[in-house]
Every structure is written in C-alpha cells, then in structure tokens.
Amino acid sequence: MYFIANWKMFGSLKTIKSINKVVSLTKKLKKNKIRVIYCPPTNLIFPLVKKLKLSSI
C-alpha cells in the first residue's frame, strides 16, 4: 500500500518545518508495510533534501 504526500505548488520554507510530523508518521506506517511517496513543489526540493539528509527518508 502506498501513501502519497503531495504538496501544493505554493509551498514555502515554513512548510518544511512540518516535515517532522511526516517523518513520525512514516515510522509508524513502516511497521504496517505502507510506503510513503513525498511530492514536494519544485521550489522546495533542495531545502527538503538538505533537511532530510540525516533522516531515514
């Protein structure tokens, strides 16, 4: 089963702060063998990669 997290194109750097909630959800879903696909807007790809570099995502 897949869960697709789709950000809208008007995302801002403030929305990246909420990624911690998504990481917590991912850890819970991993136990249920659910895969999460993240779809950030183009303008947030680099900051998101930077933030998640040390995470399990």
3-state secondary structure 1-57: CEEEEECCCCCCHHHHCCHHHHHHHHHHHHHCCCEEEEECCHHHHHHHHHHHCCCCC
Per-residue confidence at 21, pLDDT binned at 50, 70, 90?
confident
Average pLDDT estimate for 36-54 = 83
Residue spans per domain, the chain? 2-52
- For the cut 80, the answer to whether the pLDDT of residue 39 exceeds it is yes
Instruction: Give the whole-number percent of the chain exceeding pLDDT 90.
Output: 0
> Distance between CA atoms of 1 and 55, rounded to whole angstroms?
22
Mean pLDDT of the chain: 77
Over 70: is that where the pLDDT of 56 sits? Answer: no
